[in-house]
Amino acid sequence: MKALIGVAVLALATVAVAADEKLGAGVTLKEATPIASLVNHPDQYVGKTVRVDGVGTAVCEMMGCWIAITEDGAKDGKTIRVKVEDGVIKIPVTAKGKKVSAEGVFEVVADEHGEEAAAEHAKQQKPQAKVSFGEPTAKAKHPGEHTHDAASVTAKYQIKGTGLVIR
């Protein structure tokens, strides 16, 4: 009987471990950088390898080349985009709504890439959602507020992702 229970526990543990989906190099950094810190103080992180933990809120539906991640349980809803190399890593759309850890180099991006990501994210979000891919714009109604339409979100910063783990 003890052997049967031991086998059942081992089987459940194996299923729990197998549930994590590792993409690319996965995640090697032990400590996660809060997304709010990246958004609020981006100059402190540009060029550095960072890890973020949170929930996937949007995924590129065309090529699986980016994911938007919001800190789990964060009341301010700050979001960061993780962009992976096209064709090297493909993020499944099923990552939306799941816990995600991502790692890569925090970088400055051109505005046209940010507008594309913001437009895609806006299509996938509920109205009234507050998101940020970088700095707030003049269209925000209150300090620190970030709206989600393509015209009012600037994606000045992102993580150039080298690996992710989806749970």
Say if pTM beats, i.e. exceeds, 0.75.
no
Domain assignment present for 56: yes
Domain assignment present for 26: yes
Return the number of other C-beta atoms located less than 10 Å from residue 16's C-beta.
10
Domain assignment present for 25: yes
| Whether the Cβ atoms of residue 36 and residue 74 lie closer than 8 Å to each other | yes
| Domain with 54 in it | 21-166
Q: What CATH number does residue 51 fall under?
A: 2.40.50.140
Report the distance separating Cα 101 and Cα 99, nearest Å. 7
Domain assignment present for 13: no
Domain assignment present for 4: no
Instruction: Note the pLDDT of residue 77.
Output: 80
Number of domains the chain contains: 1
In tens digits, the chain (167 residues) has pLDDT values of 565 555 555 555 555 455 799 999 999 999 999 999 999 999 999 999 999 999 999 999 999 999 999 987 666 689 999 999 999 999 999 999 999 999 999 999 876 555 565 555 555 554 433 344 554 444 433 333 333 343 333 458 999 999 999 99
